Amino acid sequence: MTKALLRIEGGALFVAAVAFYAFSGAGWGLFAVLLLAPDLSMLAYLKGPRMGAYVYNAFHTTPWPLALLAGGYAAGAGLPVSLGLIWLAHIGVDRALGYGLKETSAFRDTHLGRIGRD
């Protein structure tokens, strides 16, 4: 039940981020190009599972994109707002699909359970 609720929560985050992005009037090309950008953090796994998990998790938690979004909004700057919303949409879709924060044991071990086939 808990995993299902966390996945629903991720879906809600994705829908809200996309709705606010649409409302912002920003271009969809930027959205399409950057939606998967946070996954570049997986490259840190080349340094091992511990470093990979730390870097991946840093790019897949909501405080950073929320800070970017809030700072951009406060400054009246559209690009940081757009980037924050795209980043939040990425995190939301990841969670909705069952991709959680990584454990340091292995890439496939997440807070939502093990991903992939065993």
Pairing of strands 113-114, 109-110: antiparallel
Residue 37 three-state SS: helix
d(CA 41, CA 79): 21
Give per-residue pLDDT as tens, 4-25: 899 999 999 999 999 999 999 9
Dihedral (CA of 99, 68, 66, 63) sign: positive
Give per-residue pLDDT as tens, 85-106: 999 999 999 999 988 888 888 7
Nearest one of 60, 62, 66, 70 to 107, comparing CA atoms: 60
Amino acid at 16: A
Which range is least confidently modeled, 26-35, 57-66, 96-105?
96-105
Nearest one of 76, 100, 82, 80 to 9, comparing CA atoms: 100
Largest CA distance in the chain: 48
d(CA 68, CA 54): 20
